[in-house]
Amino acid sequence: MEATPEFQPEAVIRLLSGHGVHYVVIGGLAAVTHGAPIVTQDVDLCYARDSDNLERLAAALAEVHAYLRGADPGLPFRLDARTLSKGDAFTFTTDLGWIDILATPAGTEGYDDLARTADTFQLFGHRVLIAAVDDLIRMKRAAGRPKDLLAIEELGALRQELDRRQ
Q: Is residue 156 part of a domain?
A: no
In a domain, 115, yes or no: yes
Residue 154 lies in a domain: no
The count of structural domains within the chain is 1
Among the listed residues 42, 57, 145, the one whose alpha carbon sits nearest the alpha carbon of residue 100: 42
Cα–Cα distance between 60 and 81 in angstroms, integer?
11
Its domain, for residue 41, covers 9-132
Residue 89 domain flag: yes
Residue 25's CATH number: 3.30.460.40
The span from the CA of 128 to the CA of 114, in Å, is 13
Q: What is the pTM of this model?
A: 0.93
Question: Which residue type, as a one-letter code, is found at position 123?
Answer: L
Of the candidates 139, 115, 129, which has an alpha carbon nearest to the alpha carbon of residue 49? Answer: 115
pLDDT tens for the 166 residues of the chain, in order:
556 678 999 999 999 999 999 999 999 999 999 999 888 899 999 999 999 999 999 999 999 999 999 988 888 899 999 999 999 999 999 999 999 999 999 999 999 999 999 999 999 999 999 999 999 999 999 998 988 888 898 999 999 988 888 7
